[in-house]
Amino acid sequence: MNVLGIDIGYSNLKMAYGPQGAEPKVLLRPAGAAPADRLGEKIGGNGEEDFLRVLVNGEPFVAGLSPDRAELWSRELHEDYPSTNSYRALFHAGLLLSELDQIDLVVTGLPVNQYLNPELRERLAAQMQGEHQITPRRKITVSKVKVVPQPVGGFVDHVWSLQDATEIEDSRVLVVDPGFFSVDWVLISNGELRRQSCGTSLEASSVILDEAVRLIAEDFGGNVGRERLEHTLRNGHDQVRLFGERVDVAPYLKKAADKVGPIVSTRLRESLRKENASADMVLLVGGGAGFFELAIKDAFPQLKVSTPDTPVFANVRGFWRMGV
Amino acid sequence: MKIPLGTYPELVADLNQVAPRERAERLRLLAMIGLRDLRQTGLRSQEQFQPLHATNEKPSDQKTPACSLIKRLTQSL
């Protein structure tokens, strides 16, 4: 049985895939996608493409490139992202990268507030299921799709990593998943989702990057741009060049996170008010975990805050595990 | 030593080529080769089994609570 766990984020495409009975392969690509004709000649014609070429409704798209590389194509940063052609292009890129012709089960996630709307999750499942014309000569079939709330994948990944999961069976675990567009959280009590205490905040990593860009502009007089800062971080660099000068980004990111993080943690605490017992631990997953760690620790000083290795892959590893 | 003709015809054919007094030594050598092959096959099986063991459909007892918890959560969604 071939399973694909896929998280089509606003910043990165993450995947965990492979057959049941073996460890999954994991993969990360930038989540930029655009019609192929929006790529500049220099990038598209150098013979060393680091992106994929796919079809979306018969139209050629490029996918898996840095979001700032396409010209005259705006980045989709809104709640209806899953119904966009960019999202479909990234899904097709994910199918292509899985190296499978037939996928028995795709498990994917939606932000919590969207997951709680049955219409949205059924629409996404219907969109992903069936036969897909990925390239002019490649078709890939998806037999079944399961849509889950994004942070649940991180919880499953954590459960699997424990030597003895009995220690968590009757616990109340708050899973916080800071992404680029939204910060999502779920409360899982005795292995069941507490729907009334789940939530989403849009004060996410993109807002921290915007704030850092604003602070850099105040000090250095120019706009480095959110996508450029994002690109710098994705490549593991800690400096960005502005007017010929190298700017250390870490202090600006910290200052921005110190401002935005508490807004999220306040919303989070508010959503837990309906609970008559507190959480036993906090699990911090997702690509933006580092930005929000301090704010979460400050908000729950009495709780252990745990972050997995490579938190950016936690959700998809969990998605895959739920599928097998 | 009596070797059933119908059960191990290839062994009988092999031993027929050897002088009667040297057949015991021939059998010892064949048994040693067989044992060595069994041990290597066993090791290979274990090596193949290890990575599967972590995610197999039949998990180890250690992973049973994790599997139950994941199954319960998945079904509740």
Which of A121, A248, A100 minimizes the C-alpha distance to B77?
Answer: A121
pLDDT at A137 over 70: yes
* pLDDT per position as a tens digit, B39-62: 655 544 444 434 333 444 456 677
Q: Looking at residue B50, what is its pLDDT? A: 42
- What is the model's pTM? 0.79
Q: Looking at residue B47, what is its pLDDT? A: 43
* pLDDT per position as a tens digit, A140-188: 999 999 999 999 999 999 999 998 888 888 899 999 999 988 899 999 9
* Percent of chain B at pLDDT exceeding 90: 5
Q: Where are the alpha helices (DSSP H) in chain B?
A: 9-16, 23-53, 64-76
pLDDT at A74 over 90: no
Of B52, B57, B72, the CB nearest to A191: B72
Q: Looking at residue B46, what is its pLDDT? A: 44
Contact: B55, A20; criterion CB under 8 Å: yes
Residue of A50 and A266 predicted with greater confidence = A266
Of B56, B65, B76, the CB nearest to A192: B76
Q: Looking at residue B58, what is its pLDDT? A: 53
Contact: B57, A191; criterion CB under 8 Å: no
User: Across residues B26-30, what is the average pLDDT?
Assistant: 84
User: Across residues A65-76, what is the average pLDDT?
Assistant: 71
pLDDT at A46 over 60: no
pLDDT at A92 over 80: yes
**Which residues of chain A have a CB within 8 Å of the CB of B63?**
160, 165
**Which residues of chain A have a CB within 8 Å of the CB of B52?**
21-22
* pLDDT per position as a tens digit, A11-35: 899 999 999 888 999 999 999 999 9
